[in-house]
Amino acid sequence: MTEPDVPMPRMGKAVEAAYTTLRQRIAGGRYTASGKLPSERVLASELGVSRGTLRGALRALTADGAVAPAPQSGWQVLATPLGEPPHTLVSFTEMAESRGLTPRTEILGRTARPATLDEADQLRIAPGPVLDLRRLRSLGESPVCVDHNVIALSRVPGLAEVDLTDRSLYAEMTRRGAHPYRSDFSVHAEAADDTTAARLHLDGGAPILVGLEICTDAAGKPLLLGRSMYRMDAYRFKATLFRRT
């Protein structure tokens, strides 16, 4: 993980809202083709904010490493390592495609089985069926992540029958009426076991980043439990923190 080179400016609500909208657009690949943001006049009009508010959002995006002033005029969208945009829940597939990369997914294992008592407690369901899904995520031919998800099938009907090879799990969940909205996500470092290291083309015991996730819908109902193991040289997690006053 890396920290921004410039301190994050303090933001008011209007600036934060403009920042969040622009960060979501950048993460979604809206400006990938041109590599530049529209003019400040156009952006301010699109967002319905003043030029001063827009410039505050752009300063925050600069501190975040998402944009930089263009050599001639305007603002350049910067290429960044694969990572979670602050405040924005996006899938591995969406992150990769927003950067012009080709995501690949190999299914390592998938089983519909009863939830354990711990899983049922975390998912807030009866000990009914869950989909136990293990995948290898790659960018082109380069492995990046091994993930293990446990999905509550009562909340995502029909998912157990879907071939998820080279598909976004979040997108397939959304198609079935389960809309991922929030992810409680934590990251820590640990040593890779031999199987994970081999899949990620690492030496046994090499350091990896492990992300633990509980994903919920807008009503707060848990949809999945996740554990993702990333190569440390291919992923970073960034967050923006605001101090209450």
Q: What is the CATH number of the domain that holds 47?
A: 1.10.10.10
Inside any domain, residue 130: yes
68, 128 in Cβ contact below 8 A? Answer: no
pLDDT value for 92: 83
Distance of CA 88 to the CA centre of its chain: 7
Let me know whether 101 and 52 are in one domain. Answer: no
Whether 203 has a pLDDT exceeding 70, the answer reads yes
Of the pLDDT bands very low, low, confident and very high (cuts 50, 70, 90), residue 91 is confident
Comparing CA positions, the residue from 181, 183, 200 lying closest to residue 191 is 200
Max distance between CA atoms of the chain, in angstroms, equals 60
Lowest mean pLDDT among 64-73, 169-178, 222-231: 64-73
Of the pLDDT bands very low, low, confident and very high (cuts 50, 70, 90), residue 189 is very high
The full length of the chain comes to 245
Whether 97 has a pLDDT exceeding 60, the answer reads yes
Domain count of the chain? 2
> Position 23: which residue type?
R
pLDDT value for 7: 40
pLDDT value for 42: 92
pTM: 0.64
What is the token pair recorded at 157? 């009907």
> Position 116: which residue type?
T
Residue range of the domain that includes 167: 92-237
